Amino acid sequence: MTNKQPKLEIRNLRKSFGALAATDDVNLTVYADEIHALIGPNGAGKTTLISQISGEIMPDSGQILLDGKDITRVPPHERAAVGLARSFQISQLYHDFTVEDNVAMAVQAGTNKRFSLWRNARKDESLRKPAREALEKVGLAHRTNELVSSLAHGEKRQLELAVALSLNAPVLLLDEPMAGLGAEESMLMKDILLSLKGQYAMLLVEHDMDIVFALADRVTVLVYGHPIFTGTPDEVREHPEVRDAYLGNE
């Protein structure tokens, strides 16, 4: 059962690009231990919404609350410290460093040790230990000493998730974690996310409906920047407006 304690709350959020309302009065709540999927046709505004929650885009109006606290104006680099981490769609990994180095550097960036040089910090067990724990959670413990450049595409995605987990934030924003993955790699990522279910509040943007229906406790359907429905996967499947707008009335 889902813990219905609101963790992340979006209130009356709006963002326009010229005449286009990319985020049109969005209200959405993510509970403390749920996977909440955000679906909608191309251009519906999913990434724009995630970017506002992560702080990269400033909304025109509305609020973003974490544990009831207004974080709308907290700068993006401070959001992990207040409890919110984003796993990126675009790879920001350091390919000439090892897998463990990459995660340990992310841990370091979130600590007050961030001004020390990496060559001095790389043996620091207080950075290594959380890095190894995060790698364990995504099934990459056996690859810690490999260079990122030697990883398969799916493993790089797992590493991106480990970087987000290492920030120790209770809320995870996952923007298309399966993008570019083959069928087998997608299934593995699905299983990894399932194993994390209940430990984080996750807002997941995902196009693959089988994955969404397998993972999500609730689904919000966004059309032209506005949420037209929030419900369980079964409710979403049965909803006539959703079928027309998104599922193609199969």
Applying CB under 6 A, the residues found at the interface with ligand ATP are 17, 20, 22, 40, 42-48
Shortest distance, CB of residue 129 to ligand ATP, whole angstroms? 36
CB of residue 202 vs ligand ATP: minimum separation in angstroms? 17
Give least dist CB 23 to ligand ATP, A.
Answer: 8
Task: Round to whole Å and give the CA distance between 40 and 225.
Answer: 9
Distance in angstroms (rounded) separating the CA atoms of residues 28 and 225 = 12
For ligand ATP, give the closer residue by CB, 17 or 94: 17
Residue 41 Cβ, how far from ligand ATP at the closest point, in Å? 7
Q: Which residues are CB-neighbours of 47 under 8 A, at least 6 positions away?
A: 89, 175, 205
Q: At closest approach, how far in Å is the CB of 15 from ligand ATP?
A: 9
- Positive/negative CA dihedral, 45, 46, 49, 51: negative
Q: Which is nearer to ligand ATP, 22 or 242 (CB)?
A: 22
Give the H/E segment covering residue 173: strand 171-175
Of 46 and 128, CB closest to ligand ATP = 46
Structure tokens at 177: 């974690």
Give the residue with the Cβ less far from ligand ATP, 52 or 108: 52
Residue (43 or 182) nearer to ligand ATP, CB? 43
